[in-house]
Amino acid sequence: MVGAARVRRVYEDYWRDQPCDPQPWRLAWRRGLLLAELRDGEEWLDLGCGAGRFLTLAARGVGVDVAPAAVDRAREHADARLLAGDGTLPLEHGSVDVVWCSETLEHVADTLGLLQEARRVLRPGGRLIVTTPAHPWLRRVALAALRFDAHFDPRGQHLRFFTRRSLAGMLAAAGFEVDRIHTRHATLVARAVRGR
């Protein structure tokens, strides 16, 4: 629990220093990914919702973030149910159709635990959409040669670094059926389904 409290404190400090309504990275592109996945009437979770910008795009969304300061920001922008939580997600089993986890996994110490929680809150057949920075072979070589210390600084916010294979393995370990993983804009985009 000490680790969870420390992570919450780091992100509380981060959100206190952010502008009131920060522009998410590649908002238009990520908006398109989310809206292409949502169907009318579906309930969905923005896991790692930050200031809630994605929650303004579609009805029936729920936002969860580790930092209460982020949830407070989201309340100013989004007309959605918003919850602070770490570890166990504060949602019922099988309560949502889609989990949107965009630019979040790389910040999480217990990635497998978070993905298992995402699976738990999804209905059977529900979909998980993940975006996270890509680390393909050529990028890893360039980082190792030129920017290893800066990129992998242990004081940085990115705790995990994924390749297509490592992300597929993590999703499978959490009990998901991986539908597809591709790279776009130096970002891995994964779609996985919760089986029965």
Q: Which of 79-83, 129-133, 156-160, 173-177 has the lowest mean pLDDT?
A: 156-160
**Could you give the maximum distance between any two Cα atoms of the chain, in Å?**
49
Distance CA 14, CA 3 (A): 17
Continuous segment of H or E residues that includes residue 191: strand 187-194
The three-point CA angle 98-187-169 to 5° equals 65
CA distance 146 to 131: 25
The predicted model scores a pTM of 0.89
Q: What is the pLDDT of residues 61-117, one digit of tens each?
A: 999 999 999 999 999 989 999 999 877 899 999 999 999 999 999 988 899 999 999
> pLDDT, tens digit, for every residue of 78-90?
999 999 987 789 9
Percentage of residues in the chain having pLDDT higher than 70: 95
More confident residue, 7 or 49: 49
**Rounded CA separation 91/159 (Å):** 25
Q: Which two tokens stand for residue 104?
A: 């979040």
